[in-house]
Amino acid sequence: MNKRANIFLVVATVGCLALAAFQNRSLSETRSNRVGDLTGIANPAPIVTFVTVVLGGFRGLIADVLWLRATRLQDEARFFELAQLAEWITQLEPSCTQIWAYHAWNMSYNVSVMMSDDEDRWRWVNNGVRLLRDKGIPANPEDPRIYCELGWLYQHKIGKDMDPAHMTFKMKLAESVQALLNGEGPDYAALEVNSKLARDLARDFSLDLRVMQRIDRTYGPLDWRLPETHAIYWAYLGKRRANGEKQLPANRIIYQGMAYSFFLGDLISQEGGLSRAPRWPLLPKVHTAFKDALAAHDDDENITEAYVGFLRNAVLVLHAYGKEDESKATFDTLHELAPSTETQAGLELFVGNNNIRMASPGYVREILASLPGKVSP
């Protein structure tokens, strides 16, 4: 090829690039108007930019191949590659929250239950949590759904007792937080935002000390060794990114987490491990959480029902622990919110008619039954 032709080709290339750059802005605007922002964020993570821009249309094809492999391996109960495949698949479709949620849920729920050993189960639950917390949220920081998905994993998978290994999950989480905090929560007054602890919390749990402080001020003091507190943290962040009805999932996690934290929010060290007890100072904060949710969602029937359920149980528990004043005040709130023949009969009759066996859910029965002189449920 002669020299002239080479020069022409170089000039043509530069010209084409300039033309492409010139059209880029209008093309981006057209794309945003028609299909929305591909990344959904102002400053996407480098990996998001890489897969959306460099791989172009091929990323769908690559994602399909990885999906097929992941499905086949899971069918064959070969799990060792799944965490890596899930990470790649989600990074190929970084702005699709459902894909992040699916893979996190798949690892935490489907794969974990395939493990006989509790430690193995915890590893897979944690793999799901880490995928959302460490990769999914940085890739979609403005999507409230992904925060709620993470909150749900903390609240349901780790916090509830659906999994036979749930105590291991709780212990592992409590131990890892305890190792950093050396107690139930940070001493905000003594800490700076850039302290080593703040950096460790961000590194190990993606927790921001300032947000923790705000949450403790609004809903706490909470015990950060408990999964419910982490659920509330992530739901709180999700709620701040949502409007109107889109706040509902976050509000649910918050009031459910608060209710649970009230009944079982005090971790007590004792021989043979940790036990849990009611955290009395949280009572007014639980009322606030429910009332905020009711106000935000036009007195939603389900939230009212959940609040009534909480109040009924709270009356029983407070009464059983001899906290007469708080029990009476809670009972009055219950009567005001959902008056019935039962509440019209007065506190003593209400408590007498609602014995331990009728209390629900199970953990409330356990709290009541654990008191001396009570009948085992």
Partner 1 sequence: MFLKTLAIASLTVRSAVRSRLLICLLVILFVVTLGIPLSVRGDGTALSEVKILLLYTLGTGSVILGLATLWASCSAVSHEVEHKQIRTVVVKPVGPYLLWFGKWIGIVILDAVLLLLMGLLTYALLFMSLRSAGSEPEDLGTINSQVLTARRLFLPKEVDLSSEVHRTVDELKRTGQMPEDVSEEETMQLIYRRLRARRTTVAPGASLSWEFDTQGLNTSRGSLFLRYRIGSSIGGSRQITGTWRVDAGKNGDSFNTGPIPMADGRHLIEIPASTISPGGNVTVRFENAAKGSSRTVIFHGDNHLELLAPAGGFLLNMVRSLLVVFCYLVVLAALGVTAGILFSFPVATFAAFSLSSIVLIVGFFAFSSSLTVCDHHDHDHGGGKASVMERVGETMLEGLEMALSPVRGIAPLGRLADGVYVPLWTVVRAVLILGVVCPGILGLLGGYCMSRRELAAN
Contact residues: partner 1, CB under 8 A: 68, 75-84, 87, 110, 113-116, 123-124, 126-127, 164
Q: Tell me the closest approach of the beta carbon of residue 80 to partner 1, in angstroms.
A: 4
Closest CB to partner 1 among 27 and 68?
A: 68
Neighbour tally for 16: CB within 10 Å: 10
CB of 362 to partner 1, least distance (A): 19
Residue 120 Cβ vs partner 1, minimum distance, rounded to whole Å? 8
Residue with smaller CB distance to partner 1, 46 or 372: 46
CB nearer to partner 1: give 166 or 230.
166
Strands 273-277 and 266-270: antiparallel
**Least distance from C-beta 204 to partner 1, angstroms?**
15
Answer for the pair 376, 369: CB distance below 8 angstroms, yes or no: yes
Q: Are 330 and 312 in contact (CB under 8 A)?
A: no
DSSP string computed for 105-154: HIIIIIIGGG-SSHHHHHHHHHHHHHIIIIIIHHHSTT-HHHHHHHHHII
Query: Cα–Cα distances in Å, from 262 out to 164, 226, 288, 291?
Result: 23, 12, 13, 16
CA-based nearest residue to 238, from 254, 222, 226: 254
Residue matched to tokens 């998978």: 157
Instruction: For residue 46, say if its preceding peptide bond is cis, omega within 30 degrees of 0.
Output: no
Residue among 171 and 338 whose Cβ is closer to partner 1: 171
Instruction: Give the nearest distance from C-beta 129 to partner 1 in angstroms.
Output: 12
DSSP readout, 322-341? Answer: T-HHHHHHHHHHHHHHS--H
- First-to-last C-alpha distance (Å) of the chain: 91
- Give whichever of 79 and 233 is closer to partner 1, judged by the CB atom: 79
* Residue (135 or 297) nearer to partner 1, CB: 135
Return the SS3 of 270. strand
What's the token pair of residue 139? 């890739």
> Which residues are CB-neighbours of 157 under 8 A, at least 6 positions away?
108, 109, 112, 125, 128, 163, 169
- Please, which residues have CB within 8 angstroms of residue 35's CB and are 6 or more apart in sequence? none
Cα 320 from Cα 267, distance rounded (Å): 19
Minimum distance from CB of 113 to partner 1 (Å)? 4
How far apart are CB 253 and partner 1 at their closest, in Å?
Answer: 23
Q: Which is nearer to partner 1, 126 or 229 (CB)?
A: 126
Alpha-carbon distance of 174 to 176, in angstroms, equals: 6
CB distance 45 to 139 below 8 Å? yes
Q: How far is the CB of 114 from partner 1 (least distance, A)?
A: 3
Judged by beta carbon, residue 37 or residue 64, the one nearer partner 1 is 64
Which residue lies nearer to partner 1 by CB, 114 or 371? 114
Min CB(10)–partner 1 separation in Å? 18
Which lies closer to partner 1 via its Cβ, residue 48 or residue 347?
Answer: 48
